[in-house]
Structure 1
Amino acid sequence: MVVTARREEAEGVVGVELALPSGEQLPSWTPGAHIDVELPGGLTRQYSLCGDPADGAAWRIGVLREADGRGGSRWIADELTEGATLRIRGPRNNFPLQPAGRYVFVAGGIGITPLLPMIRAVAAAGADWVLHYGGRTRASMAFLGEFAAYGDRVRVHPQDEVGLLDLDAVLGAPAADTLVYCCGPTGLIEALETRCRAWPAGALHVERFTAAPVVTDGADTAFDVVCERSGLTVSVAPEQTVLEAVGNAGIDVLSSCEEGVCGTCETTVLSGEPDHRDSLLTEEEKAAGETMMICVSRCRGARLVLDL
């Protein structure tokens, strides 16, 4: 895809628009979707689509320049120019917007990006909603101008002006018809998770920048993976991931973050009990054991059969 536009959306945040060189229509997507962007040096990074799903001619992403990151966002912020070509995978949606009577959206910093198209969708549908958008400073908060038309449904909370988000006030009392959507730093998500334990199951939906801490039962052990479609049985050593082991055996699986966040390597489980260590599947999905993220998750037992 070709970079058709590039602009500063806030301090440290770059907006990038992408289109096909031919001008053809792009694949459709829904609010919450993201794409994989392949960068120089073998890096692949995931960015939420934050434009209009009805615009089939272009996709838009917002990228926060992270000085202490692994280099992907710095390259986009410092080196990427209009007219450059990037290889893109997707879109995929691991953070879909579900129907509800009311929505509470909570964004921390660049976490506003997946919520932008959600807000457009619920506003167009006439739903009841409110956005609480926190950031370090007003100047660092991207896309503020796009919320002007929504009036007091949008509550802006720059930390240097009003302090941290008052999450008890943001959430209010648990409500059976309300869904909470949050994207932002780990601390914000963990604080919301704690408060939403009193809410109905499934009320909170989150998308993380980084993987949540993993608590394991003990030391990792070896196990076998039967790759059903390939007719191979692969041994996974204690220090290996399933992704590494099957890759070494010549089975190519698409992957990206290798942290259990993006969902690229999600694989169907045909038999056996996964030891889920991802930050993507819900507790209900983990209990069902129908799929697993093979970049981080392991086996509770001696054998897994996967659709590979």
Structure 2
Amino acid sequence: MPASLTRPGKPDRLMSVYHLATRPFAALVARTKIPATEPIDRDLALIVASSDRVAEDVVSLRLESADGSPLPRWYPGAHLDLVLPSGRQRQYSLCGDPADHSSYRIAVRRIADGGGGSVEIHDSMPEGTALTARGPRNGFPFAYPHLARADISRVAFIAAGIGITAIWPMVAAAAAAGVDWHLTYLGRTEDTMAFLDEIIGLDPSRVRIHTGPRLDTEDLLAGVDARTSVYFCGPSALLHDVRVAVEHRATAGFHFERFSPAPVLGGRAFQLRLDRTQHTVAVAPDESALTAVRGTLPEVAYSCQQGFCGTCRVRVLAGEVDRRGHSTFGEDPDSMLICVDRAASETLTLDL
């Protein structure tokens, strides 16, 4: 009990009264049994309700709950982690209506020489196919209207190719909220551009469609000023150019999501020893550990390739890791995200 400040050597009277008054409550709490924590099932059992071709080499899937229950709420910019029937894990932006809790919509471009996920979706996933999904998750949130700063008066959207899947729900949300917005949508040809009719139909005066040779960054950012917030989703090369241009002009913020891995910068060569398979893999300065490992173990799991989902995390048995990812899994000193993390030592030994 704290000593009294006015009666040296005596207990504080106020604290004594407090102690007596709270003793019964403390005793009750001590006898109260704390219920065990119930694990939360974050996996969603889905089925492919429909599959439609929406552009050249692009299919749109409508996904419903396998038991018909309402699906979890999501916000523009969110994506699903899908576990395909093959076991491959991939991430796809949600591009439907957030108010529709009966289904999700994604759109997938076929990439013949990719990791196989898009080919599987195009060729081997008819209506009725069962899928497992995790999420929705949002690493690219649209901040309107409730999170917008007072100094933002306009939003400029830039979408290239299949990057429209992340941007399109934001555009619809901006229009519904009465935000002053403008969209530049880039594609090789109009036949390759998904949801083109829907987008133009929203407000043709606010949409710029560009096909063919790429616009220069000054043209892409025309009209962007200190009160304009920019949202971008597209290829890494275009992202790099836009980021550099944005750094040299006043904006109210630049928000982006890439749908391909970032180039390896400042890398150096190292070796990976795969303990279980007894292989040694050389990693070049400009390639990821994931790319190198997949040359030997093509079935190794991965998803975002950007260091935040944790799918490619593997146990490190020996060596020092140069951590470059953003996932909370990176806090584990005995693991690494092989899509972005590298070696700080000459060799790493992995549990693969």
Task: Using the TM superposition, give the Cα deviation of residue 102 of structure 1 relative to its aligned residue in structure 2, in angstroms.
Answer: 1.2
Matched length? 259
One-letter code aligned to 2:241: A
| TM-score, normalisation: structure 1 | 0.74
Q: 1:53 aligns with which of 98, 108, 127?
A: 98
Is residue 69 of structure 2 the alignment partner of residue 16 of structure 1? no
Check 1:40–1:202 CA distance in 2 against 1; reply closer, same or farther (3 A cut).
farther
Correspondence for 2:51: 6
Check 1:256–1:60 CA distance in 2 against 1; reply closer, same or farther (3 A cut).
same
Task: Using the TM superposition, give the Cα deviation of residue 165 of structure 1 relative to its aligned residue in structure 2, in angstroms.
Answer: 2.2
Correspondence for 1:230: none
Q: 1:277 aligns with which of 296, 318, 324?
A: 324
Correspondence for 1:194: 244
1:107–1:134 contact (8 Å) kept in structure 2? yes
1:35–1:90 contact (8 Å) kept in structure 2? yes
Correspondence for 2:341: 297
Task: Using the TM superposition, give the Cα deviation of residue 175 of structure 1 relative to its aligned residue in structure 2, in angstroms.
Answer: 2.1
Q: 2:207 aligns with which of 154, 165, 168?
A: 154
Task: Using the TM superposition, give the Cα deviation of residue 112 of structure 1 relative to its aligned residue in structure 2, in angstroms.
Answer: 0.3
Q: What secondary structure, in the 3-state scheme, does the structure 1 residue paired with 2:51 have? A: strand
Correspondence for 2:278: none
Q: What secondary structure, in the 3-state scheme, does the structure 2 residue paired with 1:188 have? A: helix
Structure 1: 5+ residue runs without aligned partners? 223-237, 242-254, 268-273, 282-288, 302-308
Is residue 125 of structure 2 the alignment partner of residue 64 of structure 1? no
After TM superposition, the structure 1 stretch with the greater mean CA deviation from structure 2, 256-265 or 81-90, is 256-265
Kindly provide the CA deviation profile for residues 188-241 of structure 1, in whole angstroms up to 9, marking residues without a partner as x.
Answer: 11111121111358722111122111223656699xxxxxxxxxxxxxxx9897
2:310–2:337 contact (8 Å) kept in structure 1? no
By relative contact order (CA 8 Å, sep 6+), the higher-ranking structure is 1
Correspondence for 2:197: 145
Q: Residues of 2 paired with 1:88 and 1:276: CA distance? A: 28
1:103–1:128 contact (8 Å) kept in structure 2? yes
After TM superposition, the structure 1 stretch with the greater mean CA deviation from structure 2, 6-15 or 175-184, is 175-184
1:18–1:58 contact (8 Å) kept in structure 2? yes
Correspondence for 2:26: none
Is residue 87 of structure 2 the alignment partner of residue 87 of structure 1? no
Check 1:152–1:202 CA distance in 2 against 1; reply closer, same or farther (3 A cut).
closer
Check 1:114–1:101 CA distance in 2 against 1; reply closer, same or farther (3 A cut).
same
**1:122-141 alignment, distance < 5 Å:** 122-141=174-193
Check 1:216–1:39 CA distance in 2 against 1; reply closer, same or farther (3 A cut).
same
Structure 2: 5+ residue runs without aligned partners? 1-45, 273-281, 290-300, 314-320, 346-352
Kindly provide the CA deviation profile for residues 108-145 of structure 1, in whole angstroms up to 9, marking residues without a partner as x.
Answer: 11110000110111111111111000111111101011
1:208–1:261 contact (8 Å) kept in structure 2? no
Is residue 309 of structure 2 the alignment partner of residue 263 of structure 1? yes
Q: What secondary structure, in the 3-state scheme, does the structure 2 residue paired with 1:117 have? A: helix
Q: Residues of 2 paired with 1:144 and 1:54: CA distance? A: 21
One-letter code aligned to 2:210: H
Identity %: 42
1:52–1:117 contact (8 Å) kept in structure 2? yes
1:132–1:154 contact (8 Å) kept in structure 2? yes
Q: Residues of 1 paired with 2:268 and 2:118: CA distance? A: 35
Correspondence for 2:165: 113
Check 1:57–1:262 CA distance in 2 against 1; reply closer, same or farther (3 A cut).
farther
Task: Using the TM superposition, give the Cα deviation of residue 185 of structure 1 relative to its aligned residue in structure 2, in angstroms.
Answer: 1.4
Larger Rg: 2
1:211–1:261 contact (8 Å) kept in structure 2? no
| TM-score, normalisation: structure 2 | 0.65
Q: Residues of 2 paired with 1:180 and 1:290: CA distance? A: 31
Task: Using the TM superposition, give the Cα deviation of residue 174 of structure 1 relative to its aligned residue in structure 2, in angstroms.
Answer: 5.3
Across the aligned residues of Structure 1 and Structure 2, the Cα RMSD in angstroms comes to 3.2
1:277–1:298 contact (8 Å) kept in structure 2? yes
Q: Residues of 1 paired with 2:141 and 2:304: CA distance? A: 21
Correspondence for 1:213: 263
Q: Residues of 1 paired with 2:252 and 2:266: CA distance? A: 24
Q: Residues of 1 paired with 2:249 and 2:232: CA distance? A: 15
One-letter code aligned to 2:118: S
Task: Using the TM superposition, give the Cα deviation of residue 275 of structure 1 relative to its aligned residue in structure 2, in angstroms.
Answer: 4.5
